[in-house]
Amino acid sequence: MTMKDIRTTCAYCGVGCGIRATVTGDRAVSIKGDPEHPANFGRLCSKGTHLGETVGLEGRLLHPMVDAERATWNEALDLAAARMRECIERHGPDSVAFYVSGQLLTEDYYVANKLMKGFIGSGNIDTNSRLCMASAVAAHNRAFGEDLVPCTYDDLEAADLVLLVGSNTAWCHPVIWQRIEAARSARGTRLVVIDPRRTETAEQADLHVALAPDGDIALFNALLAEMRDRDLLDEAFMAERCAVPEGYVAGLDPRGHGIDPATFRALADLVAASPRMVTLFSQGANQSRCGTDKGNAIINLHLALGRISQTGAGPFSITGQPNAMGGREVGGLANMLACHLGFSSEERADAAIFWNAPNICAGPGLKAVDLFRAVHDGRVKFVWVMATNPAVSMPDAGFVREALARCETLVVSDVIADTDTARLAHIRLPALAWGEKDGTVTNSERRISRQRALFEAPGQARADWAILCDFAERMGWGRAFAFPTAAAIFREYAAMTALAGARGKALDLSHLAGLGDAAYEALEPTLWGGVHPTARTFSHPDGKARLVAVEAPVAAPADPEFPFRLNTGRYRDQWHTMTRTGLSPTLSQHRREPLLEIHPEDAALAGIEDGGLARLATRVGATVFRVLHSTAQRRGDLFVPMHWTDAMAGEGRANRLPLQETDPLSGQPGFKDTPARVEPVVPEWRAFLATRDEAALPSLLWWSRAKVANGWLCELAGNGAPDLEVILPKGTWLEAADMVRGMRRIIVLDKAGGLLAALYLTRNGELPPRDWVAAQIGNAEASALELLAGRPAVALPDRGPIVCVCHGVGVNEIAAAACAGAMTLEAIAGCTRAGSNCGSCRPAIARMLDEMNLDTQEAAE
Ligand SMILES: Nc1nc2c(c(=O)[nH]1)N[C@H]1C(S)=C(S)[C@@H](COP(=O)(O)OP(=O)(O)OC[C@H]3O[C@@H](n4cnc5c(=O)[nH]c(N)nc54)[C@H](O)[C@@H]3O)O[C@H]1N2
Ligand SMILES: Nc1nc2c(c(=O)[nH]1)N[C@H]1C(S)=C(S)[C@@H](COP(=O)(O)OP(=O)(O)OC[C@H]3O[C@@H](n4cnc5c(=O)[nH]c(N)nc54)[C@H](O)[C@@H]3O)O[C@H]1N2
Ligand code: SF4
Ligand SMILES: [Mo]
C-alpha cells in the first residue's frame, strides 16, 4: 500500500482543527496537526491526536439491517420509502420527521433539509444542535437579525480580556484554550471564568466567578449597570448602530449581581479597563431554561460598550460539534427554512422556485423535545435518526426511549451497529464514518473546511447524502436529488445562499456556486461573512442591532424533596455517547467511569463516602454513580458527565435525570440545573473484572466498563451472590480465596492457557491495582500465580492515575519530578515528557504544581 498524505479536518469539536493524515496501512493512519490550517496552526488536543485509535472496524455497522436481519440496500430503502409513503398518505406529511446532527457534513445536511422541507412538505427536521446551540442562534437572531458569530479565533488572541461563560474550554475546546494560553503568555491577556464549578479551566484563570446556576443574566445586567455608572457606555455606537428598549439601560441595578461584592468589583474593574474584550460562551449559557436571554445579556453588554466587530472584541458563541455551524447555515433547525431564510410566504416561494419543490412546507416544524413528545403520543409515526444518539443524549431519555419504542417506523443511520438508539430501530443503515466520508464542515468562527476520505468505504457503508438521495428517488423525486458528487451538492447549496444575500444577510456563498470538482477537492479553509460580518451593518431591516431587555429568572421555590441542583457536562477525553472515543484505550485512561461530584460537606451530611456509591434521583428518573468528593463543586450543586450509555454501563446514565423543560424561545433543554436528591448505596460486594472479549454483564446494582489495550476493564458492584457463570467467559477457572482481605480471585484461561478474564471480588477490602491486571490481558508472559495473588512477584513502581495519556505518565511520576525540583510545565515535560505532545493535560499538571507550591509554602510558614 502506498502512503498517502491527506489534509482533512478533525472529527470532533467545533474548533475545526486541520489535520495532516498519513495513511500507513489498511485502516491505519498517523495524525498530525496541519500547520497551515488557520483554526489550529498545527495544534491538536488529545482527542484529535488519538483519532487513529478509532478508525478500526470494531463495532461498525457494515450492512443495512431490517430488525435483526441483514438486508440489501434495495430491501432496506424500499421498505423505508414504502413505510414513509404509507404514513404520509394516511396521516399527512407532519406525521414523519428527521432528527439529524451537527456531525453530518454540510452536504448531508443540505440534502436532508431539502428533502423534508421542499419535497416531503413538512418542517419536521430538527437536529441535536437544538440541545447545543439553539439558544445562541435565537440570541443572535434577536440581536443581529441573523444567526451571525461576529468574531474569529484571531480576536481571542488580540483581546486584552477574555471572559469564558459556561465553557470548560480546556477540556471541550482545547485548541482554543491553547490559543488563549498563548495569548496570555505573549501579551498578558487576562482570563475570567464564569462557571459554578471550579473546572480545570477555572483553576487557570486570573479570576473565577463561581456564580449560582443560571446567575448569568443577573451578573451581566449588573455589569452593564456598573459600566453605565462608570460612564463607560459607548453612547455614540448605541445611537447609530443599535435600537435600545426605552428605559432599559437606565433601569438596571449594579447591585443585582448575586455574587460576592469583592469578586464583582474585581470583574467590573477588568471589564472597565479592557476595551478589547471577547466573551466566549458555551453550554453553561445555552443549555438553560433562560439560555436565549443569557446570550442576549452577554451581547447587550458588548453592544452597549461598542465592543463588537473590532479586532479583539465581541461576543463569541462557540459551537460544539464539528459541523454545528454548517447545519445552522443550510437550515437543519426546524424553525429555519434554509440558508438563513425564514418561513414568510416570499421566502417559502423563493425556496420552492429554487428547489423546484412540489411540496414546500407551510411553516416551522417540531423542535427536538416537542418532536419526541409527538412521537410519544403518536402524532409522529415515522422518524429517521441520522448521526445522533437521542436515546442517550435527550433530556428525560427514559421518556424518549419509550417514544422510540412505540414509534411505528424508526430508521437509524449510524456508523456503529450497537448504539442505545439503534437497539430500538426497525431499519438500520450503515453510514460512512470520519476518514471515509468526504465533504465540508464549518467551525465556530464560520470557516468552511474540507473533510476528506482516507480509506475506502468498508462493507456496504455509504455516505449519508447518498443514502438520502437514493431514498428520495424511491419517493419519486429522483431528479431533484440526482447529485453525482458531494461537490455538486455544495454548488447547489452555495447557489441557494444568494437568496439570503439578496435579503441583506451575511451568509452569501454564491461566489462558490461555480466551484469545479477539482477546485472543490482542493478547497482551502474559507471564512464566510468576512472577519467581522457585523462591521458595517446588522441584518435587521433597519441595519441596527437590538439590545434586548432581559431579566434574571425568578428562582423556583426550593423543593425539599430535591434539594440539590444537578449540573451535567463533559470529560476531557470522551466524546458524547462514547460510540467512538469509548473504543480508544488511550482516551479511556483519563476517566474510566462516570463520577458524581459533590462537595465534601454535602457528602458528609448525606452520609456519602468518597469512592462509594450513591443513587441520584430527580422527578423523572434515578441512577447510581460512584462518588468523588470535590471542593470544585459549590455547596448544593452536583455534577455528572453526560457520556455513559447502556452499552458502556449498567448505571450512571446521566440523561435519565434532566427534565423536559426548555427555553421558551429556543426550545433548548436546561441540562445544567435540575432539582435532584442523592442518597448512599452500600453494595454487599464490589469487584473488578478484566476480560479479553467484551463481557455480557447481567443486571447489577452498578457496573461500568472501559476499553484497555487488549480488552476491557469493568467495575462492578452488587447485592446477593454474584452470578459468576454469566459474568465470566467459558474456559478453565482457577480460583484463590484470600480470607484475610475478604477477596475472591478467579482467572479464566482458554485452551492454550491464554488469559480470558480475571475477576477480583471483595466484600469490604481493597482491590488490586487495575492497570497491572489490565496489562496482563494479551500478555503472553502473564503469570497465573501472580494473577491469583493479585500482584506481581516483583513490585512495579506505581505510576498513579494517568495524567498525560499521550506518553502514559502518571500522577506519582509527575509528583516525583516536581519534588526533584521540576516546578514548571516545561521542566515537567523535560523530565517526564508529560504535556509535551497534545498539551491537553497541561492544565492538570499546572494544578498539581500549584498545589505542591502551596504545600511547600504552607510548610515554610
Ligand atoms: N472532550 C469533549 N469535548 C467536547 C465535547 C465532548 O463530548 N467531549 N462535545 C462538544 C460539544 S457538542 C459541545 S456543545 C461542547 C460543550 O462545551 P462546554 O460548554 O465547555 O461543556 P460542558 O461541560 O457541557 O459545560 C460547560 C460548563 O458550563 C458550566 N455551567 C453549568 N451551569 C452554568 C450556569 O448556569 N452558568 C454558567 N456560566 N456556567 C454553567 C458547567 O459547570 C460546565 O463546566 O464541547 C464540545 N467539545
Ligand atoms: N445531560 C446532558 N445531555 C446532553 C448534553 C449535556 O451537556 N448534558 N449536551 C448535548 C449536546 S450539546 C449535544 S451536541 C448532544 C450530543 O449527543 P449525540 O449527538 O446523541 O451524541 P453522539 O455520541 O455524538 O452521537 C452521534 C452518533 O452518530 C454516529 N455517527 C458518527 N459519525 C457519523 C456519520 O458520519 N454518519 C452517521 N449517520 N452517524 C455517525 C455515532 O456513532 C453516534 O451514534 O448531547 C446533548 N445532551
Ligand atoms: S480541539 Fe481537539 S477535538 Fe477539537 S477539533 Fe481540535 S483536535 Fe479535534
Ligand atoms: Mo453540542
CATH value at residue 664: 2.40.40.20
Query: Which is the closest atom of ligand 2 to the Cα of 392?
Result: 20
Under-70 pLDDT residues of the chain: 1-3, 856, 858-861
Query: Which is the closest atom of ligand 3 to the Cα of 443?
Result: 5
Between CA 355 and CA 856 the distance in angstroms is: 69
The H or E element spanning position 89 is helix 73-91
Answer whether residue 551 is part of any domain: no
Between CA 24 and CA 586 the distance in angstroms is: 20
Question: Per the structure, how many domains does the chain have?
Answer: 6
Indicate whether 615 and 763 sit together in one domain. no
| Cβ 321 under 6 angstroms from ligand 2 | yes
* Cα end-to-end distance, the chain, whole Å: 64
Of all protein residues, the one whose alpha carbon is nearest to atom 19 of ligand 2 is: 388
- The chain-wide mean pLDDT, for the chain, equals 95
User: What per-residue confidence (pLDDT) applies to 264?
Assistant: 98
CATH code of 351's domain: 3.40.50.740
Indicate whether 375 and 466 sit together in one domain. yes
* Residue where a domain terminates, one of 789, 822, 839: 789
User: What per-residue confidence (pLDDT) applies to 768?
Assistant: 86
| Cβ 61 under 6 angstroms from ligand 2 | no
User: What per-residue confidence (pLDDT) applies to 2?
Assistant: 55
Whether 371 contacts 124, CB under 8 Å:
yes
| Cβ 654 under 6 angstroms from ligand 2 | yes
Answer whether residue 311 is part of any domain: yes
Q: Burial letters for 833-860: b for 16+ Cβ neighbours within 10 Å, e otherwise?
A: ebbbbbbbbbbbbbebbeeeeeeeeeee
C-alpha cell at 737: 480465596
| Cβ 194 under 6 angstroms from ligand 1 | yes
Answer whether residue 544 is part of any domain: no
| Cβ 591 under 6 angstroms from ligand 1 | no
**Strand runs (DSSP E) across 510-644, as ranges?**
526-527, 545-546, 564-569, 595-598, 613-617, 622-629, 637-641
Span from the CA of 124 to the centroid of ligand 2 (angstroms): 19
C-alpha cell at 529: 461573512
324-330-331 Cα angle (round to 5): 85
Answer whether residue 464 is part of any domain: yes
| Cβ 568 under 6 angstroms from ligand 1 | no
Between CA 673 and CA 676 the distance in angstroms is: 9
Answer whether residue 832 is part of any domain: yes
Answer whether residue 310 is part of any domain: yes
Q: Of 494, 486, 488, whose CA–CA distance to 437 is shortest?
A: 486
Indicate whether 510 and 420 sit together in one domain. yes
Ligand nearest to the CA of 669: 2
| Cβ 135 under 6 angstroms from ligand 2 | no
Between CA 157 and CA 394 the distance in angstroms is: 35
Of all protein residues, the one whose alpha carbon is nearest to atom 4 of ligand 2 is: 393
Indicate whether 715 and 838 sit together in one domain. no
* Residue where a domain terminates, one of 789, 813, 842: 789
Indicate whether 650 and 760 sit together in one domain. no
Q: Which of 167, 173, 178, 444 to mutate to test the pocket of ligand 3 (most atoms within 8 A of CB)?
A: 173
| Cβ 284 under 6 angstroms from ligand 1 | yes
Answer whether residue 795 is part of any domain: no
Number of H helices, E strands in the chain: 29, 34
Cα dihedral across residues 447, 448, 453, 458: positive or negative: positive
Size of the chain in residues: 861
Indicate whether 848 and 736 sit together in one domain. no
Indicate whether 760 and 747 sit together in one domain. yes
CATH code of 852's domain: 1.10.10.1100
| Cβ 567 under 6 angstroms from ligand 2 | no
Span from the CA of 654 to the centroid of ligand 2 (angstroms): 14
Per the structure, the complete domain to which residue 604 belongs is given by 564-681
Indicate whether 663 and 726 sit together in one domain. no
| Cβ 745 under 6 angstroms from ligand 3 | no
Beta bridge partners of 99: 126, 385
Query: Which is the closest atom of ligand 1 to the Cα of 575?
Result: 7
| Cβ 713 under 6 angstroms from ligand 2 | no
Q: Which of 172, 175, 587, 673 to mutate to test the pocket of ligand 1 (most atoms within 8 A of CB)?
A: 172
| Cβ 320 under 6 angstroms from ligand 3 | no
Span from the CA of 811 to the centroid of ligand 4 (angstroms): 31
CATH code of 283's domain: 3.40.228.10
Answer whether residue 535 is part of any domain: no
| Cβ 570 under 6 angstroms from ligand 1 | yes
Ligand nearest to the CA of 167: 1
| Cβ 579 under 6 angstroms from ligand 1 | no
* Residue where a domain terminates, one of 285, 317, 349: 317
| Cβ 810 under 6 angstroms from ligand 1 | no
Indicate whether 674 and 701 sit together in one domain. no
| Cβ 15 under 6 angstroms from ligand 3 | yes
DSSP 350: H
Span from the CA of 172 to the centroid of ligand 4 (angstroms): 10
Of all protein residues, the one whose alpha carbon is nearest to atom 6 of ligand 3 is: 17
| Cβ 171 under 6 angstroms from ligand 1 | yes
Indicate whether 766 and 671 sit together in one domain. no
Span from the CA of 393 to the centroid of ligand 2 (angstroms): 7
Other CB atoms within 10 A of residue 479 CB? 9
Ligand nearest to the CA of 98: 2
Span from the CA of 464 to the centroid of ligand 2 (angstroms): 16
Indicate whether 444 and 500 sit together in one domain. yes
Cα dihedral across residues 82, 84, 85, 91: positive or negative: positive
Of all protein residues, the one whose alpha carbon is nearest to atom 26 of ligand 2 is: 388
Indicate whether 485 and 339 sit together in one domain. yes
User: What per-residue confidence (pLDDT) applies to 99?
Assistant: 98
